[in-house]
Amino acid sequence: MKITVYDGAGAIGGNKILLESDGKAVCFDFGISYSIYSQYFEEFLKPRTVRGVLDFFEVGLLPPLRGIYRQDFFPSIFDWNDFKDHPFYRDLELSGVLLSHAHLDHIGHISFLDEKIPIFCSPLTAALSKAVQDTSKGDLEKEVCYKILRQENEDGYLKPAHWKNHPAVARPFRLVNTGGIPKALQDFWQNSAGSRPLQALPLEESNNIDGMAVKRFTVDHSIFGASAFAVQAKEGWVVYTGDMRLHGKKGELTRSFAQEAAKLQPLVLITEGTRIYGSTNEIDVGYEQNINEEIVFENCLKAVQSAP
């Protein structure tokens, strides 16, 4: 077994964590690293979308893994030889991405992946991901659920293909541990949000990825649909928590996940560590008191009740 953290270590979000076992490769999340992004870009200074992956590779926002990205995001001036000395450069076949939740620091760079690579997630994460893309203007980092074909013009710039002749192409999504997919969700999933037609794929259910068993656990987080995953590699179970918390209104979901994951006796646990608590004191986050959602709720309620 081999686990490679391409991004997300020593930072908040941006997770791109590759699990390889028995000749198979899957990724836990594929998000935007805001710590790297903020070093080069800001509100009015963006990567040059007309150059596809080029700027993203140059500044380290995407690892140069040959074989996993959309071909229409490579301009003719791109040369893989420019990245052969990069420590992350290699050929890779990816069987799928296990998506923990729909925050951009975990989902945003799925847009760059080959559109045939399936995404495994919860129904709510799928619905939120499409809602975000449907309501966003054209953006390389928002094409998570369906791709808009790019074509190179005579100046060498990548531009969206004309909407009349080139429908949006859906990415395969697999819903894990769902117990059925509501018809309303299937209808929403297959509808186009604008004038460009959508070459849709139905949502499907699956509990395995390239022959490896997958379990999904609902956890509490600041967005609906957040999940943790367990993958049964050849060597044993690997558990990935994604973002989770205990101080939310549904903290019992996170505790339940921990109990169920423990039963698997996992070989590896990969977890977020933005805030780590000791038995009595919070560690290294600069707070004297752990402020949870219940305290925030009570303070807000008092403020409202005291207002005329």
Mean pLDDT of the chain: 91
Which pair of tokens denotes residue 88? 């992350």
Q: Which residues of 83-97 are buried (b: 16+ CB within 10 A; e: fewer)?
A: beeeeebeebebbbb
Residue-wise DSSP of 259-279: HHHHHT--SEEE---SSEE-S
Asked whether residue 120 is assigned to any structural domain, the reply reads yes
At residue 123, the 3 state secondary structure works out as helix
Q: So what's the pLDDT on residue 57?
A: 94
Res 282 pLDDT > 50: no
Asked whether residue 295 is assigned to any structural domain, the reply reads no
Q: So what's the pLDDT on residue 270?
A: 95
Are the C-beta atoms of residues 187 and 127 closer than 8 Å to each other?
no
Q: How confident is the model at residue 277 (pLDDT cuts 50, 70, 90)?
A: low
Higher pLDDT, 272 or 87: 87
Asked whether residue 285 is assigned to any structural domain, the reply reads no
Asked whether residue 283 is assigned to any structural domain, the reply reads no
Give the domain extent around 116: 2-277
Asked whether residue 192 is assigned to any structural domain, the reply reads yes
Question: For the chain, what percent of residues have pLDDT higher than 70?
Answer: 94
Asked whether residue 265 is assigned to any structural domain, the reply reads yes
The angle, 0 to 180 degrees and rounded to 10, between the axes of the packed helices 123-134 and 183-190 is 30
Asked whether residue 237 is assigned to any structural domain, the reply reads yes
* Angle, CA of 268, 271 and 275, to the nearest 5°: 150
Q: So what's the pLDDT on residue 276?
A: 60
Asked whether residue 245 is assigned to any structural domain, the reply reads yes
Q: So what's the pLDDT on residue 249?
A: 82
- pLDDT of 56-108, one tens digit each? 999 999 999 999 999 999 999 999 999 999 999 999 999 999 999 999 999 99
At residue 215, the 3 state secondary structure works out as strand
Measure Cα distances from 111 to 142, 235, 243 in Å. 6, 31, 20
Q: How confident is the model at residue 247 (pLDDT cuts 50, 70, 90)?
A: confident
Q: So what's the pLDDT on residue 118?
A: 98
Q: So what's the pLDDT on residue 289?
A: 61
Res 285 pLDDT > 50: no
User: How far does the chain reach from its first CA to its final CA, in angstroms?
Assistant: 63
- pLDDT of 190-209, one tens digit each? 999 889 999 999 999 999 99
Q: So what's the pLDDT on residue 290?
A: 66
> Domain total for the chain?
1
- pLDDT of 114-168, one tens digit each? 999 999 999 999 999 999 999 988 778 889 999 999 999 999 999 999 999 999 9
Residue 140 belongs to domain with CATH number? 3.60.15
pTM of this prediction? 0.90
